[in-house]
Chain A
Amino acid sequence: MFDIDKWQEILATIKKNKMRTFLTGFSVAWGIFMLMILLGSGNGLSNGVSQNFMRDAVNAMWLWSGETSIPYQGMKEGRRIQLTNDDYDIIKDLPGIEYTSGRYYISGNTFSYGSEYGNYTAITCHPELKEVESIDIIDGRFINQIDINKARKSVVLGEDIYDALFKEKDAIGEYIRVNNIPFKVVGICKEGGGTRNRNAYIPVSTGQKVFNGSNRLNNFALTINANTLEESQAIEAQVRETLARKHKFDSSDRSALGSYNKLEDVIQTMKIFQAINIFIWIIGIGTLIAGVVGVSNIMLIIVKERTKEIGIRKAIGASPASVIGLILLESVLITTIAGYIGLVLGAGLMEGINFIVEQQYAASAATNGGNGETLFRNPTVDLNVAISATMLLVFAGTLAGYIPAKRAAKIKPIEALRDE
């Protein structure tokens, strides 16, 4: 196989037949290039959208109370439903529920530290909210169970609030005022997925105590243990059923108890992406087939064009094996190199697009308070897929060359010589 003289003969042939070499190589390089762009774009779109989803846990669910809209057991509609700490204790222990956090709305949220002040949102919560909303701690800690039990006046500041009030000074252990009540800063956080960080978190028990909440709660944020749409809907129905029995309203009354199940959305969106992926693969395979046909075609033409040369070579003593080897090694060499070029160009283009997208993302994040929006991120292709596709084209080119080359090598030299 490795015979310097043979390769020299092949290289000499390639060098002197530039057009033919270019055509063979181009169809392979183009096929791989297009495949890289297609698969890369699909991945980029999919990555971009799933990143937007990652702002909260994908299995998150929210519940909030309102007024009934359906008469129930002799009671008129328009009745207010009030959730309480008891509901929290019940929901927490329902099967299929992973993390639960209750919230009591507090109004008028002026934050101040020294002479700096601003309006932000104070969210009362349980420690589990960290998991539900994918909150990242930058410094210090999140609200913990002791804060809840002792109703401590602890606060975890969103990054933007910290920036505005403290201007890079050390904040942990300092006291800020929320609605003129002093709270101790225990941590600084960022919300998952790079949304705005203008929320502060305080223990729900403290919120109820300090802001006249008694045992009232306004909503629940929870995560559920479900893998399929059916499971998640069953858990949602069970939670609604439980609360409906306790508060005496129709469980289908979405005005009395509102709920949003994120997994439902995620699963549906993922289904769309699966469909898009299948579509991209169909086009990709189509592109590959076009490439295979292109290479095969050119190989057929090359062998036809070289029939007379084969005849001459055979007349002066070339064995059929050496003739086949000459044609196939040339084809393998050209398709491999061309495939590699297509691979590099495709990957390069995708990296370039990635660079521009990341810059735009950073720019939009900067103007929008860290809230970057993009539907397209990290458009790269699995290298294994790209290499397999290249090998497939090389193989197809070889096979397409082998059949006519074998035939040409087998016929009597005088017939090959007669070919014009």
Chain B
Amino acid sequence: MISLNNVHKSYVTGSNSLHVLKGIDLEIKQGEFVSIMGSSGSGKSTLLNILGILDNYDQGSYYLNGTLVKNMSEKKAAQLRNELVGFVFQSFNLISFKNAMENVALPLYYQGVPRKKRNKIALEYLDKMGLLEWAEHLPNEMSGGQKQRVAIARSLISKPKIIFADEPTGALDTSTSYEVMEILKEINNEGITVILVTHEHDIAAMTHKIIRLNDGVIAEIIKNGDLKHWKHQYAKELETA
């Protein structure tokens, strides 16, 4: 599904060059539930953006669903994002002047689905998220958790193969965070690959595979079976700190 081979990325600002990703090799299969962790500046968000074709990379190769993603035209990238990928962001990124239903329906607009039909589908997805009665509300009339559920509904409406979530719980309190994670888990149970970036250990622990980034390289990959041990170690780290 996703295959990265020696991917490098630097940000150039003026004469300074910041080498963010220093050779990432990564394989993610269909249906996995993966979290990317790391301290700030470790390159975790950059990696996610590259995976979601929101950003480009300098070196190496990235295959998404068998297609090489490199120097792709914006038009092609947009099409690929629309068909294959759904995004959930920390700051929700809903369009402020559109109500919940219109926000959810927007990806279908770019697929050419007629207005009535896409609004009907959007209502179904909002219903799944328990937000049917909020369909006519604008984003600023909703709570953070509600907004994130609208964003998740929007990411799902185009029936993507992968959901990318950048700190999906970053702006939410603990109980709402767990609700959102429950939803992501259900999505994963339906066979959709979910990849999220987080710096919260408890959130990462709910996924099946944790990729720890450190200073632009993958420090370790923790699989499902090792999670218990990892949790134990994490608790000890907290005690010593």
- Which residues of A line the B interface, CB within 8 A? 5, 8-9, 12-13, 16-17, 308-309, 311-322, 409-410, 412-414, 417
Contact = CB atoms under 8 A, between A and B. Distances in A.
A417 B97 contact: no
Contacts, number: 72
Contacts of A414: 49, 54-55
B75 A321 contact: yes
Nearest to B96: A309
4 interchain residue pairs of minimum CB distance: A317-B82, A16-B97, A414-B54, A317-B110
Given A5-B115, A414-B55, A409 B81 contact: no
Interface stretch (B32-40, B101-109, B120-128, B206-214): B101-109
B78 interface: yes
Nearest to B45: A414
B54 A315 contact: yes
Nearest to A316: B107
Contacts of A413: 54
Interface residues of B, number: 32
Interface in B47-76: 49, 52, 54-56, 74-75
B150 to A, nearest CB: 13
B106 A313 contact: yes
A317 B97 contact: no
Nearest to B73: A320
B98 A409 contact: no
A322 B52 CA distance: 20
Nearest to A5: B115
A12 to B, nearest CB: 7
B97 A409 contact: no
Nearest to A3: B112
6 contacts: A9-B109, A16-B97, A17-B97, A312-B93, A315-B54, A316-B154
Contacts of A313: 95, 106, 110
Nearest to B82: A317
Contacts of B189: none
A312 B150 CA distance: 14
A320 B114 CA distance: 21
B95 A309 contact: yes
Given A316-B154, A413-B54, A12 B74 contact: no
Contact of A316 (B55, B75, B82, B97): B82
Interface in B142-163: 154-155, 158
Contacts of A315: 52, 54, 81, 87, 93
Given A17-B97, A316-B154, A414-B49, A409 B74 contact: yes
Nearest to A314: B78
Q: In the complex, which of the residues B83, B93, B112 has the most CB atoms of chain A within 10 Å of its own CB atom?
A: B93
A325 to B, nearest CB: 12
A317 B95 contact: no
Given A317-B111, A319-B74, 14 more contacts: A12-B102, A16-B97, A312-B93, A313-B95, A316-B81, A316-B87, A316-B154, A317-B110, A317-B158, A319-B78, A319-B110, A321-B75, A412-B56, A414-B54
Contacts of A322: 110
A317 B159 CA distance: 13
Contacts of B154: 316
A320 B93 contact: no
Contact of A319 (B55, B79, B95): B79
B200 to A, nearest CB: 22
A15 to B, nearest CB: 9
Nearest to B84: A317
B95 A312 contact: yes
Contacts of B111: 317
Interface in B6-60: 49, 52, 54-56
Contact of B107 (A309, A311, A317, A409): A317
B110 A318 contact: yes
Contacts of A417: 54, 89, 93
Nearest to A16: B97
B131 to A, nearest CB: 18
B100 to A, nearest CB: 14
B79 A317 contact: yes
Contacts of B74: 314, 319-320, 409-410
A162 B93 CA distance: 87
A318 B81 CA distance: 9
Nearest to A17: B97
A417 B110 CA distance: 18
A16 B98 contact: yes
B125 to A, nearest CB: 14
Contacts of B79: 317, 319
A314 B83 CA distance: 13
Contact of A13 (B54, B55, B97, B155): B97
Contacts of A320: 74-75, 78
Contacts of B78: 314, 317-320
Q: In the complex, which of the residues B54, B87, B154 has the most CB atoms of chain A within 10 Å of its own CB atom?
A: B54
A311 B49 CA distance: 13
Contacts of A319: 74-75, 78-79, 110
A414 B87 CA distance: 12
Q: In the complex, which of the residues A16, A316, A319 has the most CB atoms of chain B within 10 Å of its own CB atom?
A: A316
A315 B74 CA distance: 11
Nearest to A15: B97
B114 A5 contact: yes
